[in-house]
């Protein structure tokens, strides 16, 4: 079990390493994978993060990636690690690696507002273009290599979950889905964000995108997986009007990047793999005491719902994807059976 520092201990650490004067800490409005605090003086000045998922080497890679993106000419901000007095961008502590990033003004966007999903799709594609220039050693993970195990369901993990009291039906479901997901080698590969969605976006009061956050799980993967992940966790596939809302995201993305036909065809399978991968990620955190069994169970339920949705809507989704992502698509939108 990883120990948790008090806010007083964190304030003392901030005072030792960063010259920002008297400060106070407040918690974020929504949960994160890490221990996160907003550092405030007379205003918000930064975000302090105690990393729970990355060791110091992976944090250093994330910071190198952020440094490269800072000079990529993106039309929005990305986190900038604030150097300590010694010039380092991370601090070792008994609780894990700690960093302070500068503050980016904004609020979480509502992707159902007019133009919001299209702007998000455009922002994702621009980010993917910039990430394509990042070398592999400057990303925290290699999701096509050894790190795939962090999001994979292995038989030993399922047994441990069963022994801890996971419901039998969920255990049986997991046992049928062990092993790493398939990743066709012939598709474009690059560094991707891996967690793009409304929860990691910031917009101004007039709904202009101001920032993209949380690059800690960025890594080498299929380029198109960034779009698949965004579709999975954006909420745009929910409800009877999902085709119209999803179309907006796709239109924005296609303004910048034209995916290969083979990339388009694999998107439904990647959505299912992402849903299962969130189970593996949470289960791995549960093993180390960072998450509860109930949180793992909730992710299994979500993955089952995703599989059910894809069973009924895969063909409609593919038609929509081809229509909006393929330059030679006909002008009339596809008809979806909801």
Contact 249, 234 (CB under 8 A): yes
**pLDDT of residue 332 exceeding 90:** no
Contact 241, 283 (CB under 8 A): no
Q: How does residue 334 score in pLDDT terms, banded at 50, 70 and 90?
A: low
User: Is residue 142 packed enough to be buried (19+ CB in 10 Å), middle (13-18) or exposed (0-12)?
Assistant: middle
Q: How does residue 279 score in pLDDT terms, banded at 50, 70 and 90?
A: very high
pLDDT digits (tens, 9 = 90+) for 287-330: 988 899 999 999 999 999 999 999 999 999 999 999 999 986 55
Contact 199, 30 (CB under 8 A): yes
pLDDT digits (tens, 9 = 90+) for 253-278: 999 999 999 999 999 999 999 999 99
Domains recognised in the chain with CATH numbers: 7-102 (3.30.200.20), 116-325 (3.90.1200.10)
Amino acid 21: pLDDT:
85
Contact 33, 52 (CB under 8 A): yes
Amino acid 146: pLDDT:
87
Which strand (E) or helix (H) includes residue 320?
A: helix 293-325
Where do runs of H (alpha helix) occur along 145-260?
Answer: 155-163, 168-175, 225-233, 242-254
CA angle 322, 325, 329 (to 5 degrees): 60
pLDDT over 90 for what percent of the chain? Answer: 81
Q: How does residue 84 score in pLDDT terms, banded at 50, 70 and 90?
A: very high
pLDDT digits (tens, 9 = 90+) for 106-162: 999 999 988 999 999 999 999 999 999 999 999 999 999 888 877 788 899 999 999
Strand order from edge to edge, sheet including 189-192: 141-142, 219-222, 189-192
The whole-angstrom separation of Cα 326 and Cα 318 is: 11
The SS3 assignment for 181 reads: coil
Instruction: For residues 79-85, give the mean pLDDT.
Output: 96
Work out the mean pLDDT of the chain and round it to a whole number: 92
Which strand (E) or helix (H) includes residue 205?
A: none
Amino acid 336: pLDDT:
59
Q: How many CB atoms lie within 10 A of CB 239?
A: 11
Contact 184, 266 (CB under 8 A): yes
Who's near 198: CB < 8 A, 6+ residues apart?
108, 109, 110, 111, 120, 234, 235
The SS3 assignment for 192 reads: strand
DSSP β-ladder status, 44-50 and 35-40: antiparallel
Who's near 211: CB < 8 A, 6+ residues apart?
76, 77, 78, 79, 104, 106, 201, 202
The SS3 assignment for 234 reads: coil
pLDDT digits (tens, 9 = 90+) for 219-247: 999 999 999 999 999 999 999 999 999 99
Amino acid 329: pLDDT:
52
Amino acid 328: pLDDT:
65
Neighbouring C-alpha atoms within 13 Å toward the C-beta of 119? 22
> Among 247, 258, 261, which residue's Cα sits nearest to residue 332?
247
Amino acid 93: pLDDT:
94
The distance from CA 119 to its chain's CA centroid, rounded to whole angstroms, is 18
Instruction: For residues 79-90, give the mean pLDDT.
Output: 96
Q: How does residue 57 score in pLDDT terms, banded at 50, 70 and 90?
A: very high
**pLDDT of residue 27 exceeding 60:** yes
Amino acid 331: pLDDT:
45
> Among 333, 330, 302, 336, which residue's Cα sits nearest to residue 316?
336
């Amino acid at each position: 079990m990883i120990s948790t520092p008090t806010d007083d201990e964190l304030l003392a650490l901030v005072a030792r390493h960063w010259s920002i004067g008297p400060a106070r800490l407040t918690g974020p409005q929504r949960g994160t994978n890490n221990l996160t605090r907003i550092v405030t003086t007379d205003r918000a000045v930064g975000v302090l993060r105690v990393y729970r998922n990355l060791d110091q080497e992976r944090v250093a890679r994330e910071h190198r990636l952020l440094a490269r993106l800072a000079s990529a000419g993106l039309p929005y901000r990305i986190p900038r690690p604030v150097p300590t007095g010694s010039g380092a961008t991370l601090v070792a502590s008994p609780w894990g690696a700690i960093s302070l990033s500068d503050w980016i003004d904004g609020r979480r966007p509502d992707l159902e507002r007019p133009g919001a999903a299209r702007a998000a799709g455009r922002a994702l594609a621009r980010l993917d273009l910039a990430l394509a220039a990042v070398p592999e050693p400057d990303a925290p993970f290699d999701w096509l290599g050894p790190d795939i195990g962090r999001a994979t369901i292995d038989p030993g993990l399922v047994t441990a979950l069963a022994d801890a009291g996971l419901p039998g039906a969920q255990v049986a479901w997991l046992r049928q889905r062990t092993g790493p997901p398939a990743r066709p080698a012939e598709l474009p590969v690059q560094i991707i964000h891996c967690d793009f969605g409304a929860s990691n976006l910031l917009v101004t009061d007039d709904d202009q995108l101001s920032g993209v956050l949380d690059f800690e799980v960025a890594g080498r993967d299929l380029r198109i997986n960034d779009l698949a992940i965004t579709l999975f966790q954006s909420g745009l596939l929910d409800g009877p009007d999902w085709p119209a809302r999803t179309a907006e995201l796709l239109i924005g993305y296609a303004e910048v990047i034209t995916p290969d036909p083979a990339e388009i065809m694999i998107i439904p399978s990647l959505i299912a793999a992402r849903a299962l991968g969130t189970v593996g990620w949470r289960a791995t955190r549960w093993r180390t005491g960072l998450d509860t069994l109930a949180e793992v169970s909730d992710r299994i339920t979500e993955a089952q719902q995703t599989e059910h949705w894809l069973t009924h809507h895969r063909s409609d989704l593919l038609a929509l994807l081809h229509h909006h992502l393929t330059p030679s698509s006909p002008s009339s939108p596809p008809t979806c059976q909801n």
